[in-house]
């Protein structure tokens, strides 16, 4: 009985392989008219510009007495600004996953901001206690001198004619503070956040599968934000804290309520702050420019058939991201989940990143083949 079922499934796979539309890293998704949101006309990249303390008269958020029906991810650690809000916000995401089954990411306890947590965010010392010559890391190579707009200074490793250390922290992979990237001390580019998260995980462990990508406002919606929180995946946001229409700060978003407000850690204190979920615009404090999504898993399918409900499908870099719906996607295939054996199972996955998708997305449902897919 099982053998007949398996033969029928694979016969269907072969038919689908020849007749279904194909999506790969080199093919546009437009050809199969996937659901997509029109991207508002925003610049393709923006920077953070804030320092270790909130600006004067900074809006510290909504009165929590008026927050109702809240959903907040528990156990996300709160870290304070260390050589940049970008690596600090990303560090909270790494710290969260380290405390939830992926303990190779940070040495020791990541629930509080230990020495090892600081080295994960931005390695090296600080202005009062820099690493000595011969042991320079991120702070000594790139954050020094601690320049500020508009007087950019060349990084120390350049002026002192030394070879910089091998990248070993989030700030390194994010190019934070690097004068060669037009970053003043503590500044980072939005486009580098997802790269940093991927590269950092790769640098500390080959056991994990990672998905990380950016969505700017328009692609980034309330619905897909809430799905990330419901799936217990904190999100890094680039926002405009002072409402001048330009970005200035990265934060770690960890929750939502029933009035379209988002919750976050702001890198300046340990409190949870609440703000209106809205687009960046002049006069709108804490408006959102874009989000960095991140997920980690140890499960991968080399080849498989997938069917069920989905919410969207997008291409980011060379990955095709399938955002699933209602946690009822089913997969038949070969991969780590089944110890390299053929197996059918229902999953609680809410996101799939695949190199190639052959299939037919119809309305809210899809059926297709995934190749080299990571399951989250």
Cβ contacts of 148 within 8 Å, gap of 6 or more: 51, 184, 185
- pLDDT computed for residue 9 by the predictor: 53
Q: Phi, psi (5° rounding) for residue 283? A: 90, -5
How far is Cα 106 from Cα 121, in angstroms, rounded to an integer? 10
DSSP strands (E only) in 143-272: 209-216, 235-240, 249-256, 261-265
Query: For residue 5, is it left (φ>0), alpha (ψ between -120 and 50) or beta?
Result: alpha
State residue 7's pLDDT score: 53
Task: Determine the Cα–Cα distance for residues 266 and 280; give it in Å rounded to an integer.
Answer: 17
Q: What is the pLDDT of residue 251?
A: 98
Position 373 scores a pLDDT of 86
CA 279 to CA 133: how far, in whole Å? Answer: 46
CATH node for 46-296: 3.90.70.10
What is residue 364's predicted lDDT score, i.e. its pLDDT?
83
Is 323 strand, coil or helix? Answer: strand
Q: Length of the chain in residues, anyone?
A: 376
Residue that has been written with the tokens 């040495």 in this structure: 107
Instruction: Give the model confidence (pLDDT) of 246-295 as tens digits.
Output: 999 999 999 999 999 999 999 999 999 999 999 999 999 999 999 999 99
Structure tokens at 182: 């037009």
Low-confidence ranges of the chain (pLDDT < 70): 1-43, 326-328, 333-348
**What's the start-to-end Cα distance of the chain, in Å?**
31
**Which percentage of the chain shows pLDDT scores above 70?**
83
Distance in angstroms (rounded) separating the CA atoms of residues 286 and 179: 27
pTM for the model stands at: 0.88
What is the reported pLDDT for 323?
A: 87
The pLDDT value given to residue 34: 29
Q: Per-domain residue ranges for the chain?
A: 2-33+299-375, 46-296
Distance CA(223)–CA(305), nearest Å, equals 26
CB 139 within 8 A of CB 124: yes
Q: What's the pLDDT at 38? A: 35
Within 10 A of 45 (CB to CB), how many other CB atoms are there? 15
Give Cα 212 to chain centroid, integer Å: 5
Long-range pairs of 101-107 with CB within 8 A, sequence gap ≥ 24: 102/205, 102/208, 102/296, 104/204, 104/205, 104/207, 104/208, 105/201, 105/204, 105/205
């Amino acid at each position: 009985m099982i053998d007949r079922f398996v033969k029928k499934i694979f016969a269907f796979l072969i038919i689908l392989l020849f007749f279904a539309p194909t999506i790969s890293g080199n093919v546009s998704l437009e050809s199969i008219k996937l659901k997509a949101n029109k991207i508002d006309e925003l610049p393709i990249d923006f920077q953070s510009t804030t320092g270790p303390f909130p600006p004067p008269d900074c809006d510290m958020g909504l009165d929590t007495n008026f927050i109702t029906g809240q959903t907040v991810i528990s156990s996300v650690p709160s870290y304070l600004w260390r050589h940049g809000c970008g690596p600090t916000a990303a560090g909270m995401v790494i710290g969260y996953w380290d405390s939830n089954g992926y303990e190779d990411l940070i040495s020791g306890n990541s629930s509080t901001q230990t020495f090892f947590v600081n080295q994960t965010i931005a390695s090296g010392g600080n202005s009062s206690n820099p690493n000595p010559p011969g042991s320079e890391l991120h702070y000594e190579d790139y954050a020094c001198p601690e320049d500020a707009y508009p007087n950019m200074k060349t990084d120390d490793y350049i002026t002192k004619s030394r070879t910089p250390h091998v990248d070993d922290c989030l700030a390194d992979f994010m190019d934070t503070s690097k004068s060669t990237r037009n970053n003043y001390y503590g500044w980072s580019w939005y486009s580098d956040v997802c790269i940093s998260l991927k590269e950092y995980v790769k640098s500390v462990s080959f056991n994990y599968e990672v998905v990380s990508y950016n969505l700017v406002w328009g692609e980034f919606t309330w619905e897909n934000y809430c799905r990330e929180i419901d799936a217990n995946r904190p999100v890094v946001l680039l926002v405009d804290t002072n409402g001048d229409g330009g970005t200035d700060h990265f934060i770690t978003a960890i929750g939502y309520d029933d009035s379209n407000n988002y919750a976050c850690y702001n890198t300046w204190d340990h409190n949870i702050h609440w703000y209106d979920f809205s687009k960046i615009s002049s006069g709108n404090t804490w408006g959102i420019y874009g989000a960095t999504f991140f997920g980690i898993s140890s499960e991968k399918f080399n080849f498989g058939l997938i069917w069920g409900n989905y919410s969207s499908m997008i291409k980011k870099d060379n990955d095709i991201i399938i955002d699933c719906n209602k946690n009822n996607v089913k997969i038949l295939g070969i991969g780590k989940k089944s110890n390299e054996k053929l197996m059918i199972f229902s999953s609680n996955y809410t996101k799939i990143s695949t190199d190639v998708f052959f299939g037919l997305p119809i309305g809210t449902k899809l059926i297709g083949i995934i190749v080299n897919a990571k399951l989250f």
